Structure 1
Amino acid sequence: MSGPDGTAKQKRVWDEAAPRYDQQIAFLERNWFTGAREWITARAHGRVLEVAVGTGRNLPFYGDGVTLTGIELSTGMLAIARTRAAGLGLKADLREGDAEHLPFDDASFDTVLCALSLCTIPDPVAAIGEMKRVLVPGGTLLLVDHVASSWAPVRAAQWLIERFTIRAAGEHFTRRQLPLVTAAGFAIEETERLRAGTVERIRARKPPHAR
Structure 2
Amino acid sequence: MAGRTLGERAAARAARLRRRWDREAGAYDRGMAAAERRMFPDVRPRVCGLASGDTLEVAIGTGLNLAHYPSAVLDGRLTGVEWSPGMLAVARRRAAELGVDVDLRLGDAQRLDLPDDAYDTVVCTFSLCAVPDRRAALAEMVRVLRPGGLLVLADHVSSTAWPVRVLQAAAEVVSVPLAGEHFRRRPLRWVLEAGLAVEQHERTRAGVIEWLAARTPGPRAR
- TM-score, normalized by length of structure 1? 0.95
Q: Of 56, 69, 73, which aligns to 2:63?
A: 56
Q: Of 174, 190, 208, which aligns to 2:218?
A: 208
**Which residues in structure 2 correspond to 1:1-211 (within 5 Å)?**
4-66=11-73, 67-208=77-218
Contact 1:149–1:174 (Cα < 8 Å) also in 2: yes
Letter in 2 for 1:167: P
Greater mean deviation of Cα atoms: 67-76 or 13-22: 13-22
Contact 1:40–1:142 (Cα < 8 Å) also in 2: yes
CA distance in 1: counterparts of 2:55 and 2:185, whole angstroms: 25
What are the superposed Cα offsets for residues 146-201 of structure 1, whole Å, 9 maximum, x if unpaired? 00001111111110011111111000001111111111121111111000000001
- Structure 2 residue runs of 5 or longer lacking an equivalent are 1-5
SS in 2 for 1:174: coil
Contact 1:68–1:91 (Cα < 8 Å) also in 2: yes
User: Percent same amino acid at aligned positions?
Assistant: 48
CA distance in 1: counterparts of 2:12 and 2:185, whole angstroms: 21
Letter in 2 for 1:196: A
How many residues align? The count is 209
- Structure 1 residue runs of 5 or longer lacking an equivalent are none
Cα RMSD, aligned residues only: 1.4
Contact 1:52–1:73 (Cα < 8 Å) also in 2: yes
Give 1 or 2 for the bigger CA radius of gyration. 2
Letter in 2 for 1:183: E
Segments of 4+ moved more than 6 angstroms: none
What are the superposed Cα offsets for residues 111-167 of structure 1, whole Å, 9 maximum, x if unpaired? 001000000000110000000000000000000000000111111111001111111
